[in-house]
């Protein structure tokens, strides 16, 4: 039973990485878009691209937290005790990111837009780094079981955490760039298609290099997960590499739809691979999923809620993405009307 | 360096953790009524716009949805902070009771998802969706707001009336009954009380903006509708809240006598207990000092059937380590007075509003009424905060009543004082910014109206006429 709920948790983390991650990545490209004049067009694509969807995508994080604290409460307590610092930074970063993004859309003065934009973009890089560092801390066995605090600093400032943090930032940037190639095409802006296509290819290469280097880091620093990734999770790792290479080929050939799906595949398989590599531990190697699991009735509640979500939330999300992709939500930025104040 | 480090390490995290939780919750709870009730208020305007071809109502609905986009975004991220804080500040509570306490949150997660999805569709759908389908995409927001409120308050009620689980001798939760957790004894009334409060505060808060506009001389139809829709909703909810609140108080009298003793500030078990307005306990906690006592009223209200002979258990009948401290009792009692006092005041304001409609067939026109209505928004927020203080401080020293104390629940991280200070600075900045941004949006629209240049029209409905320059009469 605890395995089923662990799978649900992995689904949540994967969804958050694929959708929420891309929204953070959009912030990365916002940060690197250059000065006010030069960055105007890419920033408007970014605002247009994540505007309607980021809040819904953000809920996956809440979903993951709730599943974790309800189904595996002792592991949740251990993680929160040990990783107090990066998680506090992440929480504040989330406040900065969400609120300043909402503010930037509504203010008209360039200087205010720039300040809110800077807060939005900077926190969009800090938050995924912290999340990745947290994942690295867990994967490398630095979070002790039993609601005890591990080291408040070295638990997340260590090779695996830094790998996790940097990888999270680059993966988010990569996904965002690939999605925004598509969005630019939708908006009918060939310059922006090219702009984000170049960035997608570069970030794909960078992500790939870091991932390969990461194998050596894990070998030295997170041996349990390393063994998992090179044995039972190996098919997922290979699949991820193939998806990544495939998406790059398609990007170079300007086939956006396929590139987007393969990019999602590449990221999803990495996240799932991490989960499989850690199995059966929730905190390698001090706490197994079964040991951390809540009583059966609670696990059943989580499963039932998830099934309801599958029937109610997934179609609703589908509707949101469908309307968004068909351009039925929000006007293009150039069109005057209630959606355009800039 | 070492001594500075030692100093950092020596700071007791408990009071800081409490302060941080209180700060972030106090902030978030202001956004809750907007998230829960504003959608409904907007849909009323939206419905009127389509049904009666009302251009003013359409403009209001569109602008409200734009404001909501901002307040919802801030509510979403400050709500996320609370999720983190459950673990960051109270890891031992979550570690031990997460498997029971978490269940209502799993359900709340569903509603939050629905709300975020349909709010996005509604806010961004004005231009390209057809009027009625667009209207209907707003309905799940209202349903999700209600469901979310009930779920979250169910979790809070569970802390007051923990149920639906069994613990073994080591204190570990070994068996959970999800229905028992969700439908704990305090849940029905507490959820209802908060839900009605959300509609009250949301209504008064939105209406207050337009009341202020009318005070400033903008007495046009646009402002009148902008005032009437939310104010009427709040005024209808107000008498209902008086009944629910009264029922709730009696429920606390019967089920949580410690909290009730703190609310009424009763040091010793006795009959014929006066209702003391304000006042405080003396240093020994044996006597009430100051304040204005109304003889026998607390006893009468607690059980009207037995009147002044109703006995109220005093603080002295509970062990010192299982009841709020004297200072906490003072806070609970003061918050109670504020809640009941302001609640009654808002109730009278609602009566004034209704009386005018009954006798004069129009809303009150006097400047005094508009001034008070303009203040009602902030006053209703104060009432809400006071009510929340009553239930939270009144439960002290427990986080899970009779099972776990707050200090047993807190994190061992001694750096909480730093995160508290950072959070304080960020939240003060955030509060100021939200208000400035909302004001700027409103100003920009008003200037746009005056210049009559901006086409605020959606894809449907009449082409919108700008607000008239000369104020119209306040007749319906």
C-alpha B348 chain-centroid distance:
20
The pLDDT value recorded for residue B368 is 93
Answer whether residue B128 is part of any domain.
Answer: yes
Mind listing the pLDDT tens digit for each residue in B413-451? 888 898 999 999 999 999 998 899 888 888 888 887 766
Give the residue ranges of chain A where pLDDT is below 50. Answer: 331-342
Say yes or no to pLDDT of B170 above 70.
yes
Q: Find, in chain B, the residue whose alpha carbon is nearest to that of A328.
A: B128
Q: Find, in chain A, the residue whose alpha carbon is nearest to that of B125.
A: A329
Looking at every residue in chain B, the average pLDDT score rounds to 88
Answer whether residue A341 is part of any domain.
Answer: no
Instruction: Output DSSP code: residue B474.
Output: S
| Domain identity same for B381 and B445 | no
Q: Chain B partners of A55 at a C-beta cutoff of 8 Å?
A: 72-73, 76, 116, 119-120
Say yes or no to pLDDT of B455 above 70.
no
Residues in Cβ contact with B176 at an 8 Å cutoff, skipping those fewer than 6 apart: A294, A295, A297, A298, B99, B100, B103, B164, B165
Would the CB atoms of A84 and B88 count as touching at under 8 Å? yes
Answer whether residue B157 is part of any domain.
Answer: yes
d(CA B28, CA B25): 5
- Closest in B69, B78, B98 to A76, CB measured: B98
The whole domain housing A140 covers 2-280
Q: Write down the residue that tokens 């100003």 correspond to.
A: B443
Answer whether residue B468 is part of any domain.
Answer: no
Q: How many domains does chain B have?
A: 2
Answer whether residue A302 is part of any domain.
Answer: no
- Closest in A63, A77, A108 to B92, CB measured: A77
Report the run of H or E that residue B33 belongs to, with start and end. Answer: helix B13-52
The pLDDT value recorded for residue B458 is 40
Angle at alpha carbon of residue A126, lines to A224 and B425, rounded to 5°: 125
Q: How many domains does chain A have?
A: 1
Would the CB atoms of A99 and B456 count as touching at under 8 Å? no
Mind listing the pLDDT tens digit for each residue in B335-382? 999 999 999 999 999 999 999 989 988 888 889 999 999 999 999 999
Answer whether residue B56 is part of any domain.
Answer: yes
Position B475 confidence tier, pLDDT thresholds 50, 70, 90: very low
- Closest in A294, A324, A338 to B99, CB measured: A294
| Domain identity same for B147 and B98 | yes
Distances (CA, A) of B206 to A2, B226, B277, B376: 46, 8, 31, 10
Mind listing the pLDDT tens digit for each residue in A327-337? 777 643 333 33
| Domain identity same for B374 and B266 | yes
Answer whether residue A179 is part of any domain.
Answer: yes
Q: What is the CATH number of the domain that holds A177?
A: 1.20.1630.10
| Domain identity same for B400 and B439 | no
Whether the bond into A266 is cis, omega within 30 of 0? no
| Domain identity same for B175 and B253 | no
Report the run of H or E that residue B128 belongs to, with start and end. Answer: none
Mind listing the pLDDT tens digit for each residue in A199-242? 999 999 999 999 999 989 999 999 999 999 999 999 999 999 99
The pLDDT value recorded for residue B6 is 63
| Domain identity same for B382 and B445 | no
Distance from CA of B443 to the nearest CA of A (A): 11
Mind listing the pLDDT tens digit for each residue in B202-228? 999 999 999 999 999 888 899 999 999
Answer whether residue B11 is part of any domain.
Answer: no
**For an interface test with A, which of B117, B144, B422 has the most A Cβ atoms less than 10 Å from its Cβ?**
B117
Distance from CA of A276 to the nearest CA of B (A): 24
Top-confidence residue, B467 or A145: A145
- ipTM of the assembly? 0.91
Answer whether residue A260 is part of any domain.
Answer: yes
Answer whether residue B158 is part of any domain.
Answer: yes
**For an interface test with B, which of A2, A9, A56 has the most B Cβ atoms less than 10 Å from its Cβ?**
A56
Answer whether residue A141 is part of any domain.
Answer: yes
The pLDDT value recorded for residue B361 is 86
Answer whether residue B8 is part of any domain.
Answer: no
Answer whether residue A242 is part of any domain.
Answer: yes
Would the CB atoms of A87 and B88 count as touching at under 8 Å? yes
The pLDDT value recorded for residue A15 is 94
d(CA B87, CA A77): 6
Mind listing the pLDDT tens digit for each residue in B227-285? 999 999 999 999 999 999 999 999 999 999 999 999 999 998 988 888 888 888 888 88
Distance from CA of A152 to the nearest CA of B (A): 8
Distances (CA, A) of A250 to A178, A255, A258, B110: 11, 5, 7, 37
Q: What is the CA radius of gyration of chain B?
A: 24
The whole domain housing B339 covers 238-412
| Domain identity same for B301 and B367 | yes
Mind listing the pLDDT tens digit for each residue in B56-114? 999 999 999 989 989 999 999 999 999 999 989 999 999 889 999 999 999 999 999 99
Q: Find, in chain A, the residue whose alpha carbon is nearest to that of B177.
A: A297
**Region of A188 on the Ramachandran plot (φ > 0 left; ψ -120 to 50 alpha; else beta):** left
Would the CB atoms of B102 and A320 count as touching at under 8 Å? no
| Domain identity same for B438 and B401 | no
Would the CB atoms of A58 and B177 count as touching at under 8 Å? no
């Amino acid at each position: 039973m605890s395995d089923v709920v662990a799978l649900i948790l992995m689904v949540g983390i994967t969804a958050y990485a694929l959708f929420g991650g891309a929204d953070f990545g959009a912030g990365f490209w916002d940060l690197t878009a250059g000065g006010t004049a030069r960055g105007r067009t890419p920033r408007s694509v970014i605002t247009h691209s994540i505007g309607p969807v980021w809040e819904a995508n953000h809920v996956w994080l809440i979903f993951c937290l709730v599943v974790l604290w309800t189904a595996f409460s002792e592991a949740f307590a251990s993680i929160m005790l040990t990783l107090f610092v990066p998680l506090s930074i992440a929480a504040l970063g989330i406040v900065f990111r969400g609120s300043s993004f909402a503010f930037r859309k509504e203010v008209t003065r360039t200087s205010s837009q720039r300040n809110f934009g800077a807060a939005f973009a900077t926190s969009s890089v800090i938050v995924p780094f912290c999340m990745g560092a947290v994942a690295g801390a867990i994967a490398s066995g630095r979070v002790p079981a039993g609601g005890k605090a591990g080291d408040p600093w070295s638990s997340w400032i260590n090779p695996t955490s830094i790998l996790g943090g940097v990888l999270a930032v680059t993966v988010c940037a990569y996904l965002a760039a690939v999605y925004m190639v598509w969005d630019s095409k939708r908006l009918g802006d060939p310059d922006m298609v090219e702009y984000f296509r170049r960035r997608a290819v570069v970030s794909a290469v960078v992500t790939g290099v870091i991932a390969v280097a990461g194998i050596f880091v894990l070998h030295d620093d997170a041996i349990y997960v390393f063994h998992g990734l090179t044995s039972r999770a190996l098919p997922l790792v290979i699949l991820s590499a193939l998806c990544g290479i495939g998406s790059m080929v398609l990007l170079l050939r300007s086939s956006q739809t396929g590139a987007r799906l393969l990019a999602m595949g590449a990221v999803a398989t990495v996240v799932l691979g991490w989960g499989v590599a850690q199995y059966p531990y929730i905190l390698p190697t001090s706490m197994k999923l079964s040991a951390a699991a809540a009583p059966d009735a609670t696990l059943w509640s989580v499963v039932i809620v998830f099934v309801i979500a599958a029937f109610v939330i997934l179609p609703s999300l589908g509707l949101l993405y469908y309307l968004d992709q068909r351009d039925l939500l929000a006007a293009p930025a150039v069109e005057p009307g209630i959606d355009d104040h800039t | 360096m070492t001594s500075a480090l030692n100093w950092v390490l020596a700071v007791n995290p408990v009071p800081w953790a409490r302060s941080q939780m209180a700060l972030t919750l106090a902030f978030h709870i202001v956004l809750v009524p907007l998230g829960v009730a504003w959608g409904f208020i907007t849909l009323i305007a939206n419905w009127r716009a389509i049904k009666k071809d009302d251009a003013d109502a359409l403009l209001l609905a569109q602008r409200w949805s734009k404001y909501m986009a901002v307040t919802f975004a801030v509510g979403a991220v400050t709500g996320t902070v609370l999720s983190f804080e459950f673990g960051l500040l109270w890891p031992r509570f979550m570690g031990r009771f997460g498997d029971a306490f978490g269940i209502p949150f799993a359900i709340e997660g569903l509603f939050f998802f629905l709300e975020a999805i349909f709010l996005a569709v509604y806010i961004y759908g004005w231009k390209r969706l057809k009027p009625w389908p667009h209207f209907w995409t707003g309905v799940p927001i209202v349903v999700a707001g209600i469901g979310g409120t009930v779920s979250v308050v169910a979790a809070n009620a569970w802390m007051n009336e923990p149920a639906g689980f069994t613990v073994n001798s080591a204190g570990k939760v070994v068996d959970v009954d999800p229905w028992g957790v969700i439908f704990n004894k305090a849940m029905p009334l507490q959820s209802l009380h908060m839900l009605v409060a959300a509609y009250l505060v949301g209504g008064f808060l939105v209406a207050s903006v337009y009341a202020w506009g009318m005070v400033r001389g903008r007495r046009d139809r646009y402002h009148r509708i902008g005032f009437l829709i939310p104010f009427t909703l709040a005024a209808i909810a107000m008498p209902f809240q008086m009944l629910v609140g009264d029922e709730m108080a009696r429920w606390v009298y019967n089920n949580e006598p410690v909290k009730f003793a703190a609310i009424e500030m009763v040091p010793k078990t006795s009959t014929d207990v006066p209702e003391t307005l304000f006042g405080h306990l003396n240093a020994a906690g044996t006597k009430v000092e100051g304040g204005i006592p109304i003889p026998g009223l607390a006893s009468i209200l607690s059980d009207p059937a037995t009147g002044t002979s109703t006995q109220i258990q005093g603080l002295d009948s509970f062990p010192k380590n299982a009841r709020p401290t004297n200072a906490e009792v003072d806070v609970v009692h003061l918050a109670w007075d504020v809640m009941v006092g302001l609640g009654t005041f808002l109730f009278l304001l609602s009566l004034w509003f209704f009386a005018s409609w009954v006798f004069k067939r129009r809303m009150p026109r006097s400047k005094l009424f508009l001034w008070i209505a303009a203040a009602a928004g902030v006053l209703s927020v104060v009432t809400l905060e006071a009510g929340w203080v009553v239930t939270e401080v009144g439960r002290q020293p427990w986080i899970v009543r009779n099972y776990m104390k707050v200090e047993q629940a807190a994190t061992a991280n001694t750096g909480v004082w730093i995160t508290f200070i950072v959070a304080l600075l960020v939240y003060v900045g955030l509060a100021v910014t939200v208000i400035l941004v909302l004001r700027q949006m409103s100003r920009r629209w008003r200037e746009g109206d005056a210049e009559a240049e901006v086409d605020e029209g959606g894809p449907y409905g009449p082409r919108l006429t700008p607000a008239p320059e000369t104020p119209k009469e306040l007749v319906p």
